Amino acid sequence: MAIHAVATRKPLPPHILLLVLAFLFSTFSTTMLSCRKQEEILTEGDHRLPIWLSLSYHVDGDSLLFESIRYRNEAGNRYSVTRLQYYLSQFRFRIAGNPDKWYVIDTVFYCDGRRWLRQTFLLGKIPRFRYDQVCFFVGLPPEWNQHGRLPPTIENLQMMWPTPMGGGYHFLKLEGHFLARDTSTTPQGYALHLGTNVALVPICVSVHLVPNAFSRAYGLHLSMNIAEWFRNPHLYDLAEKGYIMGDTLRMQIIAENGRDVFTAEAMPSLPNW
């Protein structure tokens, strides 16, 4: 019977074993320290992330379709929307759990409801905190609402408010046609134009903007309900006055109604952002 020798591995000398263990421990410690250091960098409050804004529009849950007299307000007017142009400005983000701390992005964005599929804005960068409320204006604060304050683009020039009526810019142009009552057959035009500082629309909405370890950006989505311009707290009947430009009282009524037109939600940051 043949007997095969079985090779046995000699144990490492003690000094070699100590060296190997020391190397493994050093590598593990360096890796853990590196991971922890990166985690701390990602979670530091002064680390800023871009925040993107997207917009959409509806009428009490129905998608906004232009040029169609298909909507009805509480005053009984059937109406359409043919133009929706406005400014958003001075975004303020409240840090969750700290009602006295806000982060402000003092800038202006021109918005056109017909372009909403193509209008996604980079608002800027904000510190990497949790936020529970965002406030902003529909319109321009006084320091921005001056002739020539905005770049002379075609859009901004077309939004200028006449100097004899106070100057500055239109805050909102909401236009269309309406039928005064169900028995009406002839559409009439309307133009809800807001301008001058008395018609500035302040808006505050709750939102939960929460970053995580892999966040590359914040995403904020604002949805405008057109129906709110005609109600709450004031029921507005287009048949009484469809053109309000320069009418301070009616502009203030529409501006007060506008405080509830937007809802907000956080959107996941997308890779192409």
Report the alpha-carbon distance of residue 171 to residue 165 in Å, rounded.
Answer: 14
Pairing state of beta strands 218-225 and 262-267? antiparallel
Taken in order 229, 235, 237, 240, the sign of the CA dihedral is: negative
Report the alpha-carbon distance of residue 114 to residue 173 in Å, rounded.
Answer: 12
In this prediction the pTM is 0.81
Residues 36 and 144 in one domain: no
Report the alpha-carbon distance of residue 183 to residue 263 in Å, rounded.
Answer: 34
Residues 80 and 194 in one domain: yes
CB contact at 8 A, 82 and 190: no
Per-residue pLDDT of the chain (273 residues; tens, 9 = 90+): 333 333 344 454 544 444 444 444 344 344 433 333 333 323 334 589 999 999 999 999 999 999 999 999 999 999 999 999 999 999 999 999 888 999 999 999 999 999 876 678 899 999 999 999 999 999 999 999 999 999 999 999 999 999 999 999 999 999 999 998 766 789 999 999 999 999 999 999 999 998 876 778 899 999 999 999 999 999 999 999 999 999 999 999 999 999 999 999 998 755 454
Residues 128 and 215 in one domain: yes
Residues 182 and 56 in one domain: yes
Note whether residue 7 is domain-resident.
no
Q: Is 27 helix (H, G, I), strand (E, B) or coil?
A: helix
Residues 213 and 84 in one domain: yes
Residues 258 and 131 in one domain: yes
Domains in the chain, number: 2
CB contact at 8 A, 225 and 59: yes
Residues 130 and 26 in one domain: no
Note whether residue 4 is domain-resident.
no
Residues 19 and 110 in one domain: no
Which domain range does residue 36 map to?
A: 13-43
Return the beta strands (E) in 157-210 as ranges: 170-179, 188-195, 201-209
Residues 167 and 259 in one domain: yes
